[in-house]
Amino acid sequence: MSNSTETNTKSPTQAVISLTIPRIRRLTPVLVVDSVEPCIRFWIDRFGFKSANEVPGSDGKLIFASVEKDGVELMYQTRSSVISEHPDNAADLAGRSIALFLTVDDLDAVEKVVAGAPVIKPRHKTFYGSTELYVREPGGNMVGFAQML
């Protein structure tokens, strides 16, 4: 698919509906967690990310923050602040999960910097040609690191 917008139509047997496909410029996950601080420290201390935004709540603790490095951005927001913004949507957070998958150049280096993080799946080779390692970051989210062979 090119960077420009394209038109998509349904098959000739269906009513023809023309849609303009919008270009998606960037995907940045917002991870909803109980506490923001330990999550951003994970990325800053272990991988050299820089804090990009920090929004404290009335108690001084962060309710939102983002970190960035090399074109990668992660955002964190507290569960309580999401619920306070939209109390009727609290049930939408139940049972949700996410796993981040990052391709890296040096899995040995990653393994060293994540030492001490809970290991979900130890280093292993996959059938699709990578070596991977999965850990849990402080917000409880699974983070997979893969080096292509």
In the chain the domains, ranked by start, together with CATH numbers, are 14-96 (3.10.180.10), 97-149 (3.30.720.110)
Say what the pLDDT of residue 77 is: 94
- pLDDT computed for residue 9 by the predictor: 54
Q: CA of 38: how far to CAs of 34, 62, 77, in Å?
A: 10, 10, 12
Burial of 66 (0-12, 13-18, 19+ CB in 10 A): buried
Could you give the CA distance from residue 130 to residue 46 in angstroms, rounded to a whole number?
22
Distance between CA atoms of residues 36 and 46, nearest Å: 16
Contacts 24+ apart (CB under 8 A), 128-133: 130/103, 131/107, 132/107, 133/107
pLDDT at residue number 1: 47
Record the pTM. 0.79
Q: What is the DSSP letter of 3?
A: S
- Report the pLDDT value the prediction gives residue 120, as an integer from 0 to 100: 94
Residues 140/96, Cβ–Cβ less than 8 Å: no
The pLDDT of residue 24: 80
> Low-confidence residues of the chain, pLDDT below 70?
1-16
Q: What is the pLDDT of residue 89?
A: 78
Question: What is the predicted pLDDT for the residue at 126?
Answer: 93
